[in-house]
């Protein structure tokens, strides 16, 4: 890696990033702080996915974190809105709406895609770690190749799923309560 870093950043890097990851360049500097290079960033840099897929992955992760873990990650250009105040019920409704988006994507793309999203985005696993979980019977090199291909495939489908969700939300608001819910179909099939 050919980045020029200060002594302070190098000390932080040595404390945060393991020497193995430093040797394999599985880290990057973001606003002066060392961060582990994510699977999405790796796929984007190698041009296996486009920027729309990377943006969709970030949106999915924000919805996932709010819906499941009860915290919000703001994008770097976020402008805070202090005119709206939330009570506990409104906050839980906001979390439910975020989780509805995650559930829609899971319903749209399937459980295997959801599992890959959790592994690469929420758990920040490397392709080797994903290969050990998803393809345990394959060798490491073949498993890494297949896991990166599977991740690239589901990430390239994610923008379409989020556009379908946005259309569904718009149709629901236009139809009122008369619209048919995708979740009721999924639950009826089980």
pLDDT of residue 1: 42
Query: For the chain, what percentages of helix, strand and coil (3-state, to nearest 5) are there?
Result: 70, 5, 25
What pTM was estimated for this model as a whole? 0.70
Query: Can you give the pLDDT of all 190 residues of the chain as single tens digits?
Result: 445 667 766 666 666 556 655 555 555 665 666 666 678 888 988 889 999 999 999 999 989 988 888 766 666 777 777 666 666 777 788 888 889 999 999 999 999 999 999 999 988 888 888 999 999 998 889 999 999 999 999 999 999 999 999 999 888 877 765 555 555 555 445 4
Assess contact for 98 and 63: CB atoms under 8 A: yes
Q: Would you give the end-to-end CA distance of the chain in angstroms?
A: 50
pLDDT of residue 17: 57
């Amino acid at each position: 890696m050919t980045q020029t870093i200060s002594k302070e950043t190098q000390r932080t890097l040595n404390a945060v990033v393991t020497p193995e990851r430093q040797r394999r360049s599985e880290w990057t500097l973001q606003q002066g702080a060392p961060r582990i290079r994510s699977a999405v960033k790796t796929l984007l840099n190698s041009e296996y996915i486009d920027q729309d897929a990377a943006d969709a992955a970030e949106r999915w992760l924000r919805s996932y974190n709010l819906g499941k873990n009860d915290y919000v990650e703001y994008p770097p250009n976020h402008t805070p809105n202090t005119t709206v105040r939330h009570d506990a019920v409104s906050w839980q409704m906001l979390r439910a709406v975020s989780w509805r988006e995650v559930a829609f994507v899971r319903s749209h793309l399937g459980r295997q895609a959801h599992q890959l999203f959790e592994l690469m985005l929420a758990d920040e696993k490397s392709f080797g770690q994903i290969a050990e979980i998803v393809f345990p019977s394959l060798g490491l090199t073949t498993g890494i190749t297949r896991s990166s291909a599977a991740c690239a495939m589901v990430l390239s489908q994610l923008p379409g799923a989020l556009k379908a969700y946005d259309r569904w939300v718009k149709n629901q608001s236009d139809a009122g309560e008369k619209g048919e819910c995708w979740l009721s179909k999924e639950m009826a099939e089980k």
